[in-house]
Amino acid sequence: MLIASLDTPPTLKPPPARFGKDMTQVTKPSAQVSPQTTWMLLVRDQRDRDAFAMLFDYFAPRLKGFIMRSGTGTGQAEEIVQEVMLTVWRKSAQFDPERAQVSAWIYQIARNRQIDVIRKENRPMPEELAEDPETEPDAGQILAVEQEAGALKKALSLLKPDQREIIEKAYLGELTHQEIRTQTGLPLGTIKSRIRLGLERLRHELKDMR
């Protein structure tokens, strides 16, 4: 059974159905979940090509713009976009809406691919977190991730243009770690306040693993 966590804000009802890996039970997630998350879950759980096409329409032009900003030409940018979107399809089982927004997950795939292309080396990545397959999906946590992401987007949109420029450069890979270090100030502080959520979820998972 799906049980909304206690910290779910009272104004939000939990979605009526579970997002489990149990194929027969997956239904349309509620309207409170973003369309991107809904499409991604349909791709993950039902291998839904129409949902994949929707994800493509939403993310491909953004990815292309994002990749071209760091100086990549249009042809190579489209190659990378295609490879990123194929990875989204192939590795969809790794997508966990209780920990990440679709855009965060795709951002990481895109940066990995760009590093592969530019440096011809694989970026070392942490071990995947082992999750108990019996863990019930937590709709409250999915909504909490969406809310936190919304708050973060709002915070980013309120930055002054010069601060925004710095943070964009940092996450587009245009600053070295030394440069990020000298720029550590408001932008990273904003992000740090978002860490709490991830921590809660991860502690929860750790408890399940014991």
Which residues in 96-155 contact other proteins (CB under 8 A)?
99-108, 110-112, 114-115, 119, 121, 123-127, 129, 148-149, 152-153
- Specify the residue, 2 or 172, whose C-beta has the smaller distance to other proteins: 172
Task: Tell me if 76 contacts other proteins by CB under 8 A.
Answer: no
| Token representation of residue 143 | 């909504």
Chain-centroid distance, C-alpha 9: 22
Task: Tell me if 65 contacts other proteins by CB under 8 A.
Answer: yes
Round to whole Å and give the CA distance between 169 and 155.
17
How many residues interact with other proteins (rule CB under 8 A)? 77
- Minimum distance from residue 21 beta carbon to other proteins (Å): 20
- Minimum distance from residue 46 beta carbon to other proteins (Å): 14
Task: Tell me if 25 contacts other proteins by CB under 8 A.
Answer: no
CB 141 within 8 A of CB 208: no
- Minimum distance from residue 207 beta carbon to other proteins (Å): 11
Task: Tell me if 165 contacts other proteins by CB under 8 A.
Answer: no
Please work out, in degrees rounded to the nearest 5, the angle formed at the alpha carbon of residue 196 by the alpha carbons of 194 and 199.
125
- Specify the residue, 11 or 157, whose C-beta has the smaller distance to other proteins: 157
- Specify the residue, 3 or 53, whose C-beta has the smaller distance to other proteins: 53
Task: Tell me if 63 contacts other proteins by CB under 8 A.
Answer: yes
Give 74-140 as a DSSP string: HHHHHHHHHHHHHHHHHTGGG--TTT--HHHHHHHHHHHHHHHHHHSSPPP-PPPPP--TTPPP-HH
CB 153 within 8 A of CB 191: no
- Minimum distance from residue 71 beta carbon to other proteins (Å): 13
